[in-house]
Amino acid sequence: MVSGTSTDGAGPRRTQARPRRRWLRWLLLSPLVFALLTTAQVLVLRFVDPPLSAFMIARHFKAIGEGDWSYRTRYDWRDLDAIAPALPVSLVAAEDQNFATHHGFDLDAIEKARAHNQRMIERAEKRGTPVKRLRGASTISQQTAKNLFLWSGRSWVRKGLEAWYTVLIEALWPKHRILEMYANIAEFGDGTYGAQAASVRFFNRDASRLTANQAARLAAVLPNPRRYDAGKPGPYVLKRSAAIQRQAGHLGGAAWLRTLD
C-alpha cells in the first residue's frame, strides 16, 4: 500500500524555516523600530515637561536598595522664563561655553580634555600618586540626554545611546528647550533636581529670585553635587563660583539668553 503522505521531509523543514525567517525579519527591522520609538520619545518631550528623569528613578531605587527609606526626590519643574537668567547663563559658563554654536558635541573641548587628562595621568605616574581631577568634555546636550534617558556608569553601550539621543535632541529641540530641560533635571544635591528645588533647599527662595552669586554656586557644585554643598560652600566652590561669574559676564549675562533659538 502506498501512503499519500510525503516522506521527503520537505514539509517539516519548511515549517521550521518559517520561524527562522520571521526572527530574521524582526532582527533586521529592530533598528528601524528603535529609531522611530526614540525619535517619537524625544519629539514628545520637546513639548511635554517630564514628570521624572531616568537618573531620578535610578537614584530612588538605589536608596531603597541601601535601606534608605527616608530618601525623597526633590523636583519641581519651572519654565526657563520663570528661572532667574543668572542660573542658565552660569550653567553654560561652567559646563559648556560653546553651547550656542555646537551641534551637540564640542570637538575642540574633547581634544583639550584628552590632552589635559593625559598630562595628569603622566604626572601621577611619575609621582606614584592617584590621578586627580580629570577633565570631562560632555556638552549640556550630552548631559541632558544622559540624565533624562539613560543610567549612570561607563560602558560603550551607554555612550552609544548617549550619542544617539544627543543627535536627536539637537535635531528636534531648539537650544532654548535643551537649556530649559537641563536646568530642571540637573542634580544640584543628593536627591535635589532642578533650579526650583535647589533654590528652595539651599537658599529658601524661588528660582526666579536667585542672585548671580547663588546661581554661580549652584553651577559650581555640578562636578559632584553629592560632595559639594551650594548652601555651605567650601573653598573649592567659592573659587569656582567666582570664576563662573566672571565667565558669565564675558558671555553677556542675561542678554546672552536672547540669542538662543
Domains of the chain listed by start with CATH number: 34-98+173-257 (1.10.3810.10)
Q: Which residues of the chain are under the pLDDT cut of 50?
A: 1-6
Nearest one of 211, 192, 236 to 228, comparing CA atoms: 236
- pLDDT of the residue at 113: 64
Which grid coordinates belong to 83?
A: 528661572
- pLDDT of the residue at 184: 97
C-beta atoms surrounding 52 within 10 Å: 13
The Cα–Cα gap between 217 and 7 comes to 81
- pLDDT of the residue at 105: 80
- pLDDT of the residue at 146: 94
| Side-by-side strand order, sheet with 74-75 | 74-75, 192-193, 187-189
Q: Model pTM? A: 0.84
**What's the pLDDT tens digit per position in 20-59?**
777 777 777 788 889 999 999 999 999 999 999 999 999 9
Q: Checking phi first, is residue 73 left (phi over 0); if not, alpha (psi -120 to 50) or beta?
A: beta
- pLDDT of the residue at 143: 95
C-beta atoms surrounding 158 within 10 Å: 14
Q: What are phi and psi of 77, to 5 degrees?
A: -60, 140
- pLDDT of the residue at 124: 66
